[in-house]
């Protein structure tokens, strides 16, 4: 009896093990059939640019096979912008699926009207394929020429803004003086570009921050490009050069005002607090960078005010580079013009007016540039003002437009020519 029980238990154990092996084998064999295709279905391009009435062929690629037929249907965000043919792709099942086999399916995209549209895909039956990372961004535009012009404009205003710092540096070097250049403007500027550099470098170089960004915006592109990084770092560096000149050259009694110091202290406190919260894992580092970008936006709104007010008080723009203003105006004008061309080309006026920050800052900068140009050429023209005095008079003079140098014209009578001769004296 004991032996029978032993044999019985052994048989039961073998049966149980066989059943377990079967279940494990079914799971192991079934997983490749039903789930091995996790993220093994993709399109050969994720960003597509089309003209209206243009067709473009792209491929849906399948790695491995299934034991059942699947249907992959495109889900177009804006069906009036782009159309896919066929809208549904049938993937046949196989009796003996090969997990290494590659199949491609051609899909034709047709541009119907200008605009942007995201395209995702849905699979039937569900549960076989993860399609979270399978998507397309389709852009349909009116004209390729406008696209090229817009691209060129982007580089022109990038260069204009980058070069705009050097006329002021040159003027300071030539005059060996920074009198007339407002220190509040410089202090706000260097802090603004430092914040901008932190934002750009963080999003461009940090994989951890990029991961945070893509977790929040899984179908977006990185908003920061290499030229953004270069511009912000270069701008901060050029501003530091100008600030260094303030310590080397004549500056009279100019200094950062109490209001300016208060604003900088407030912004600095925000940076320290948010950075501390980031270090303590209370907020994401991406949010810290967003706070830095908000500080940059605020500084852009207010940084020109001190210089404009200083020019008004001095009734002069001497020491303030008009070349800087012209280049800034060119850059801002081309930036807004590029936005306008893109809005027309993609029929995307909602984003044009919806991006109030970019449009508002660009327009605000243009208004200040125009105001500075009026100050320089109309309100406080830099032309020398002279007083005409008789040659017999001595000690008569007149200040020249707030520069600090004295000029006058000496008028003497030429008896032979029977006319007055005018000679400039300083």
- Amino acid 84: pLDDT: 95
Q: Are 53 and 109 in contact (CB under 8 A)?
A: no
- Which residues on neighbouring strands pair with residue 50, listed in sequence order? 140
- Amino acid 2: pLDDT: 39
Count of residues for the chain? 426
* Over residues 44-62, mean pLDDT: 93
Cα(17)–Cα(11) distance, integer angstroms: 10
The C-alpha angle with vertex 313 and arms to 307 and 315, in degrees rounded to 5, equals 95
Cis peptide before 86 (omega within 30 of 0): yes
CA-wise closest residue to 142 among 53, 44, 256, 271 = 53
Domain 41-141 architecture: Sandwich (2.60)
In tens, the pLDDT along 227-249 reads: 889 999 999 999 999 999 999 99
Examine the pLDDT at 219 and tell me if it is beyond 60. Answer: yes
- Amino acid 186: pLDDT: 96
Q: Are 101 and 66 in contact (CB under 8 A)?
A: no
Instruction: Compute the Cα dihedral for 177, 180, 181, 182 and give only its sign.
Output: positive
CA-wise closest residue to 107 among 119, 97, 117 = 119
Mean pLDDT for the chain overall: 81
**Chain-centroid distance, C-alpha 126:** 39
- Amino acid 194: pLDDT: 96
Query: 360 versus 66: which is more confidently predicted?
Result: 66
Examine the pLDDT at 133 and tell me if it is beyond 60. Answer: yes
* Over residues 246-257, mean pLDDT: 92
56 CB-contact burial (10 Å; exposed 0-12 / middle 13-18 / buried 19+): middle
Q: pLDDT band for position 225 (50/70/90)?
A: confident
Residue keyed to tokens 């192991």: 28
- Amino acid 148: pLDDT: 92
Examine the pLDDT at 305 and tell me if it is beyond 70. Answer: yes
195 to 249, 264, 300: CA distances (angstroms): 27, 12, 11
In tens, the pLDDT along 327-362 reads: 999 988 998 898 889 889 988 777 666 555 567 677
């Amino acid at each position: 009896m004991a032996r029978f029980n032993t044999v019985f238990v052994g048989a039961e154990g073998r049966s149980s093990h066989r059943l377990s092996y079967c279940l494990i084998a079914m799971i192991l064999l079934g997983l490749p059939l039903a789930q091995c295709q996790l993220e093994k279905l993709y399109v050969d391009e994720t960003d597509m640019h089309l003209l209206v009435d243009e067709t473009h062929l792209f491929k849906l690629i399948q790695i491995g096979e299934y034991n059942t037929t699947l249907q992959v249907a495109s889900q177009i965000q804006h069906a009036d912008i782009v159309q896919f043919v066929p809208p549904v792709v049938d993937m046949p099942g196989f009796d003996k699926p090969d997990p290494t086999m590659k199949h491609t399916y051609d899909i034709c995209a047709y541009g119907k009207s200008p605009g942007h549209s995201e395209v995702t895909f849905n699979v039937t039956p569900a549960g076989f394929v993860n399609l979270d990372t399978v998507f397309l961004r389709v852009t349909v535009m009116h004209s390729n020429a406008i696209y090229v012009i817009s691209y060129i404009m982007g580089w022109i205003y990038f260069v204009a803004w980058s070069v705009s710092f050097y006329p002021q540096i040159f003027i300071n070097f030539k005059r060996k003086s920074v009198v007339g250049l407002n220190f509040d403007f410089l202090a706000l500027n260097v802090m603004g570009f430092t914040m901008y550099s932190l934002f750009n470098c963080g999003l461009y170089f940090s994989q951890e921050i990029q991961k945070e960004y893509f977790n929040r915006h899984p179908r977006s592109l990185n908003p920061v490009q290499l030229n953004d990084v270069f511009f912000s770092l270069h701008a901060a560096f050029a501003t530091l050069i100008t600030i260094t000149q303030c310590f080397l050259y004549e500056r009279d009694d100019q200094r950062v005002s109490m209001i300016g110091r208060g604003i900088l202290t407030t912004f600095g406190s925000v940076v320290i607090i948010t950075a501390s919260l980031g270090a303590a894992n209370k907020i994401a580092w991406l949010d810290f960078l967003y706070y830095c970008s908000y500080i940059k936006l605020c500084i852009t709104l207010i940084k020109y005010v001190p210089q404009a007010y200083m020019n008004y008080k001095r009734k002069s723009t001497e020491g303030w580079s008009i070349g800087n203003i012209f280049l800034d105006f060119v850059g801002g004008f081309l930036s807004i013009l590029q936005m306008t061309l893109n809005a027309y080309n993609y029929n995307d006026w909602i984003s044009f007016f919806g991006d109030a920050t970019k449009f508002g800052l660009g327009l605000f900068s243009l208004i200040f540039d125009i105001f500075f140009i009026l100050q320089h050429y109309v309100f406080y023209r830099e032309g020398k003002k002279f007083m005409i005095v008789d040659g017999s008079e001595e000690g008569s003079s007149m200040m020249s437009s707030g520069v600090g140098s004295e000029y006058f014209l000496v008028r003497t009578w030429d008896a032979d020519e029977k006319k007055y001769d005018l000679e400039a004296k300083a």
